Structure 1
């Protein structure tokens, strides 16, 4: 059994601050007027915003691949993606050689990046992946930066998990049981899951070996934006026709 992808899409621990920041950025992020439902909000950027992106890496080829992969999203959104030098980006990307450092890859979800101090990265990517895996990983991580969540956690995924094997497999790459619950197992229905349908082929979906699923269904590796990804992100950030 081999777990071949793992990342953490990091949500702010301060749900109310996250909600307030998201709504200040884009009032349409409010999905409820109930104070008790402060966790129920989108984290999408303001329409037609310029999103500054900085990349910290000593490897020019890595930086170029990051830019190339991120720009794959550009034709499908109304945001202007602008690459800036130094640490000036709203989205700040850093590389790491260590696959197990905080599980290798992580990203703030959408506007939660605004809650992170300006000297701290908002995305980390493990650069020592195979070249064929690095581009899709960057696509996935920038999907989080645009406000997308994990597709495999959609309640309509209906994946029949073999939990002992799932915990074992992810434990071998440093995940705790709480992290499996947070980043792998299904979420409750929300405004987000109503807006973005389940898509088995989404770049936001992890691959899973059949050993972690009771009915022996294997979920393959998604290495490009699916039609569903393009439809969803185009609805969130519609490009003027």
Structure 2
């Protein structure tokens, strides 16, 4: 595909809305909205191919490997059963390329795709497309929709370009994917990265400001330095030992927004246990069981925006190993929280 040839673009699925209580403070709301798409670090994301040519599947596998090679705390594993996969990948050539954003994939039916590729992934542009869609699943939005980017569009030309071939979008789709600015609650920092893998390619004439992009914007492809910094900060590598959480012993947590605490649980007896947090913080609490060396999701709860604590019950078996992970959204009135199981 030549540099000036029109290119198809990612057409991501709309966000799944959440209902937050009336009267919630703006700082608390911002953190919940910002962090709710992010996975608990240490999660193994399972993916399944809903058919597709072998070469296209291999291109997607390579893109997962490239993200993982950055040393992040997430892992990716291919599974044969779509019911075991958080990420289900289709290759419908008539449906464009898209993905749901972050943990929104968990709200999609177990037989439905959460990601689709609508063109050849074995080209340089296709490789970037595969990295781009996985970026969405990790929680990254489109970079050009950053509200701090300062992009001024020739809106008539934008609509004319994207409603034509090869995208064939409606005006609503064009607005949603290009012209709409993301709410400031949903972005981290303020710098725009035109080299990001999450940035579109744009032909000449669509951008009027910044002036350097009047003749078009062509990202270099692949993961930019800022992409790599973001994913390492959001999902840092799991280094060092994990402390053991003992039953009936509350452990105080002092975390900043987005930070996480992890605990190993070796239950002293086989029975049903309660696992929960205490304090006024908003958290997501997730329990994994280690099966053949891989953490598999067992139970979890998210209390964000609610006047309660995360709490769930699970039957734990003596001799098996479990990992409890607590990720903080908002530190609450006291700035402190605690975790315990009993």
Scaled by the length of structure 1, what TM-score is found? 0.83
Cα displacement (A) at 1:130: 6.2
Structure 1 counterpart of 2:77: 82
**1:156 alignment partner, SS class:** coil
Question: How far apart, in 1, do the equivalents of 2:190 and 2:237 lie?
Answer: 17
If each structure's helix is expressed as a fraction of its own residues, which one has the higher value? 1
TM-aligned CA distance change 1:199 to 1:5, over 3 Å? farther
Structure 2 counterpart of 1:143: 135
Structure 1 counterpart of 2:91, from 70, 88, 95:
95
Contact 1:152–1:205 (8 Å) recurs in 2: yes
Question: How far apart, in 2, do the equivalents of 1:142 and 1:37 lie?
Answer: 23
Matched, 1:152 2:150: no
Structure 2 counterpart of 1:11: 14
Structure 2 counterpart of 1:56, from 25, 42, 50:
50
User: More relative contact order in 1 or in 2 (CA 8 Å, sep 6+)?
Assistant: 1
Contact 1:55–1:92 (8 Å) recurs in 2: yes
**1:81 alignment partner, SS class:** strand
Contact 2:56–2:121 (8 Å) recurs in 1: no
Cα displacement (A) at 1:52: 0.6
Stretches of structure 2 that go unaligned for 5 or more consecutive residues are 240-342
Cα displacement (A) at 1:195: 4.3
TM-aligned CA distance change 1:75 to 1:130, over 3 Å? closer
**What is the CA deviation profile of residues 183-208 of structure 1, one whole-angstrom value per residue up to 9, with x for unaligned ones?**
11242442432347421100000011
Stretches of structure 1 that go unaligned for 5 or more consecutive residues are 21-30
Structure 2 counterpart of 1:106: 98
What are the equivalent positions in structure 2 for 1:1-241 lying under 5 Å apart?
3-16=6-19, 32-34=27-29, 41-76=35-70, 77-87=72-82, 88-98=84-94, 101=95, 104-128=96-120, 131-172=123-164, 173-195=167-189, 197-214=191-208, 215=211, 216-240=214-238
Name the count of aligned residue pairs: 224
Which structure is larger by alpha-carbon Rg, 1 or 2? 2
Contact 1:55–1:86 (8 Å) recurs in 2: no
Cα root mean square deviation, aligned: 2.5
